[in-house]
Amino acid sequence: MTETEQNRTQNPEETVASSRRTTKRGGGDPAGRGRTTIADGVVEKIAGMAARDVVGVHAMGSGISRTFGAVRERVPGTSKSVTRGVSAEVGEVQTALDLEIVVDYGVSIADVARAVRENVIGAVERMTGLEVVEVNIAVSDVKLPEEEEEEPAQPRIQ
C-alpha cells in the first residue's frame, strides 16, 4: 500500500489532529513569549489584605498615617487604602516587604508577627509568582480596649 493510500484509509479526525500538532506557530512555551511586570502597588495591596486577615492585627500604619487615611476616606469617591502601612520593593523575580502594624492588646506580638509573615508570603507568592525574600514587620502601637477609635472631628458644615 502506498503512502497516499494509507492516508486515505486513516480516520479523518486523526489526520486533522496530527496536522495540528505538527503546525505549531511561534514555537516553544507561550509563557516564554513576553515579559510580565508587577507594580509595587499590586504587591502592596496583596500584602495589605493578607496582613489585615490575621487575628490580632488591629490596623496598619503609624498613628499619623491612620489619621490622614481616616480623613481621606471621608472624602466622597475615595476608598479605604489597603496599602497603608505597607511598602514593597519589586524586582523581576523577587520582592521584599516592610509592614507597619498595630496589634490588639493581649495578643502575643511574636505570634501575630509570625502569622502575618506567613500569610503575606503565601498570598504574594501564590498570586504573583514572585519569591518573597523578606517581610519586615514593625509594631508601631498596641490598641488598648479602653481607647477610642481615631476618628477625625465631624465637619461643622453639612
At 33, the pLDDT band (50, 70, 90 cuts) reads confident
- Average pLDDT, stretch 125-135? 98
CB atoms within 10 A of CB 56: 18
Determine the pLDDT at residue 41.
95
At 62, the pLDDT band (50, 70, 90 cuts) reads confident
- Average pLDDT, stretch 56-70? 70
- Average pLDDT, stretch 20-37? 71
At 5, the pLDDT band (50, 70, 90 cuts) reads low
**In the predicted model, is pLDDT for residue 84 greater than 70?**
yes
Decide: pTM greater than 0.85.
Answer: no
